[in-house]
Chain A
Amino acid sequence: MTTDRPTRGVVLRRTVAALAIALAPTVLATPPAQASPGADVAAHTHSAADTGTSTSTDIATDCQPDDATACVAVVVLNDAGDRIPDAEVTIAGPGGFEETVTTTAEGPVSVAVPEVGRYAVTIDPATLPEDEPLPAGAATELSVTAQTGGTGRAAFRVGGEAAPTESPTADATTAAPGGDDGADTGTGTTTEGGEVATAPEGDASERAFSWAQVWQQFGSGIRFGLLLALASIGLNLVFGTTGMSNFAHGEQFALGAALGFIAINQMGLSIWVGGLLTIAVCALTGLAQDAAIWRPLRRRGTPVMQLMIVSIGLSITLQYVIQLMIGGGSERILSNNPQPLNILGITLSTASWISMAVALVCLVGFALFLTRTRLGRATRAVSDNPALASATGIDPDKVVRTVWILATAFAALAGLMWGISFGSFNWQLGVQLLLLMFAAVTLGGLGTAFGALVGSILIGLVVELSNLVIQSDLRYASALVILILVLLIRPQGILGRRERIG
């Protein structure tokens, strides 16, 4: 199939690749724009915005909370404590609700919102008085929680030289009960530098460049890479044995974190018991999936293309199940402050070091399983050539079942340890990680177990080190740019073989 390709296409591909590489440094060298810490603290709770169309609702400004009404109130204050009129503020939240209000000098403007939940309150800096602009680096968006019978308040402070960058959401927490991001980000994560996956407070790109910083980010990158490897090995094994890119694998990862949150944080189990329980439950979901969906479909000879779309349906379903379980906000598995531990000049939380050790042990154990045990060799045989493997007496169904159990269990373990060592996570964790996993396995070689390991470590390093030169809210994008470049230059990946790609 690959023999009669037009050579012109190859030339074109190479040229584009060369161009892209030549342009890459200029992109990287672009000075980081004024980062605004906390600007997207609220925005990952955009569950509603993501669900599509809007419902029209009658909106009453100046709302009085009662048993059936939830309100969101907005006020803009200058540093003398006076209210600023005529600033435009947009309130957006669940159900596609969006409403723009104009502040007054008399008092807070409140709006009745159709549903309880988190609302993102965004100020339009252009509508502020010219002599009292938003301080440099201050958030333009705050997150408030609206509940029936109460008012979620958001206060913006304008004017003044000193930017309140330390706690950008502190102003908004007056009436935001229950684990607001502001509380999360204040606690100890800043010591680790760019730690929390979803909150860019410890944005390394804001700091001066130093080799100690590079070394620190290198350590973070190895941690990221090890956890990513644990998750993506399962993705790659499923691909190798069944030929399917499993788009629901990211949700399996998030499921580990979500169930871990429920078992450890909400049910109060110890980390080890709760963790083992989480992994067991997730492994069962793998077994159940294979028995209920994938094996019957394989028996019917359903094309791989359709299996992939089924896995996408499964990922949507799981994503909303996770949202039902943990809600739309950011959660932490361990609520106490992380204990920093310095090893070789890299400061990470103790939980992170333990996670890295566990991941390393699991990866080595997994490598031994694949190379030394009968079932592991059978797995590799099925990966290589299913027809030949079954001809030699290997039962492919048994192998694939084992692969599903292992893949979901490892994904859950990685997700759990991610939740423990990276601070807060939300229901969108799955999709973010899925894309990085795809980048990792493509870089390493789609379908090769050890390629996933190499690719993951590299992607982890790229993500964390890119933090030094580009803004942290774009650091995942750097990994995806690498994915596209890999496909241009060496589509089979580092460890892949040429014939796998045709």
Chain B
Amino acid sequence: MDEFLRILTQSLAEIIAPTTAAFAIAAIGLNLHFGYTGLLNMGQAGFMLLGAYGFGIATIAGFPFYLALLVALAAGLLFALILGIPTLQLRGDYLAIVTISAAEIIRWIGRSTWLQEWTGGASGLQGRNYKGTFQDLSPLPDGRTVIGPLEYINTGSDSWWTRIFAWGLVALALLFVWLITRSPWGRVLKGIREDEDAVRALGKNVYSYKLQSLMLGGMLGALGGVVYVLPLTIAPDAMGRTMTFFTWTVLLLGGAATVFGPVLGAMVFFGAYMLMRTGMRALAENTGVGDIITTTNVEQIGGMLVGITLMLLVIFRPQGILGNKKELAFDVR
């Protein structure tokens, strides 16, 4: 019973974890790309990693917190421009191929010895080197706070302050997306998703709108990357292809083209993912299941189930939990 409670508490903690918020922000950005504009961005982890590097390197160079945050956003913006200019005039799958490749290039460059001086190579940047300015901002008093079954220190890496900041940014991102998607600008985006030629016939510059959407979503991705590394370290290998695919699963689970879909998706996905892994691990350790599934296999089986979930979602419920199926019947162009 204690074990069961511990597993439940861990899953509950995961629902409000800063990393969940980070994925929610990245998925909100991806929602702008995919849900509203119909762009297949398969490199959201590249935006996140660039944002994290931008923030970390700028902070280590002595920038104050908000300036470092701006550097991270600028990195996302620039990456979107570099990727978008050549590909957004082509058919949609070119963007997919180029973004997935570019995200990997960023990761390879990050972990190579070439720029090790700044990026820290394969071992990345240690958290203590860049977290100082963020933790200095904390208005919370010293000490620990217990809310229900959850207990964290007030200020630090894995703290209440990180959580408050992360979910505050999620709320801001939601407000931003809600406002821009119900503006005339947002309606043009949806029009592009449904029928690009019709929008062109109305005299809108489709290419420019797509580029703006890619830039805004990319900046949200970079912001998600910053939030992701605030409680952790900047490790290029933790922010690879798997991260992009998790973001996609989060978005499609919650419901693309809805405002709250990405947030709900992130909470449900990471809560369930943690429940499944800790549950399997507990089963493997304490019962006869351990003879078949060892604890090392739990991660692998967990990953497999994520892949299968993504496939089943797209096949049977492409609109996710909150979405409208009619809005997701579009095709790549």
Residues of A within 8 A of B (CB): 1, 4-6, 9, 12-13, 16-17, 30, 32-36, 39-40, 43, 46-56, 90, 92, 94-96, 98, 100, 115-117, 120, 122, 124, 140-141, 245, 247, 293, 297, 302-306, 308-310, 312-321, 323-324, 431, 435, 438-439, 442, 470-471, 473-474, 476-477, 480-481, 483-484, 487-488, 491, 501-502
Contacts and interface: CB of A to CB of B under 8 A. Distances in A.
Contacts of A34: 113
B246 A52 contact: yes
Nearest to A34: B113
Nearest to B207: A9
A51 B14 contact: no
A327 to B, nearest CB: 8
A140 B121 contact: yes
B123 to A, nearest CB: 4
Given A306-B318, A319-B303, 5 more contacts: A1-B197, A43-B111, A50-B238, A53-B19, A483-B97
B89 A303 contact: no
Contacts of B17: 53
A47 B241 CA distance: 12
Interface string B263-289: 000000010011001100000000000
Main secondary structure of the interface of A (DSSP, over half): helix
B77 interface: no
B101 A435 contact: yes
Contacts of A310: 310-311, 314-315
B158 A316 contact: no
Given A9-B207, A54-B232, A297 B315 contact: yes
Given A51-B242, A122-B123, A313-B314, A98 B233 contact: yes
Contacts of B329: 303
A167 B330 CA distance: 55
Max count, chain A CB within 10 A of own CB: residue among B89, B246, B248, B333: B89
A317 B94 contact: no
Interface stretch (B171-179, B216-224, B291-299): B291-299
Contact of B113 (A33, A51, A317): A33
B89 A50 contact: no
A389 to B, nearest CB: 21
A442 B97 contact: yes
A245 B97 contact: yes
Nearest to B211: A9
Contacts of A96: 238
A6 B91 CA distance: 16
Contacts, number: 230
A315 to B, nearest CB: 7
Interface in B308-326: 308-315, 318
Interface in B62-95: 83, 85-87, 89-94
B112 A309 contact: no
A477 B109 contact: yes
A431 B241 contact: yes
A247 B314 CA distance: 15
B114 A50 contact: no
Given A306-B314, A442-B97, A316 B104 contact: no
B122 to A, nearest CB: 4
Interface string B205-245: 10100000000000000000000000011010110111101
B48 to A, nearest CB: 12
A438 B101 contact: yes
Contacts of B97: 245, 438, 442, 483
Given A313-B311, A316-B307, A317-B308, A303 B330 contact: yes
B331 interface: yes
Contacts of B94: 442, 487, 491, 501
A53 B270 contact: yes
B192 to A, nearest CB: 13
A1 to B, nearest CB: 6
B153 interface: no
A474 B87 contact: no
B28 interface: no
A324 B301 CA distance: 8
A204 to B, nearest CB: 15
B140 to A, nearest CB: 20
A96 B277 CA distance: 13
Given A12-B85, A16-B86, A487-B87, A316 B310 contact: yes
A36 B120 CA distance: 13
Nearest to A68: B285
B193 to A, nearest CB: 11
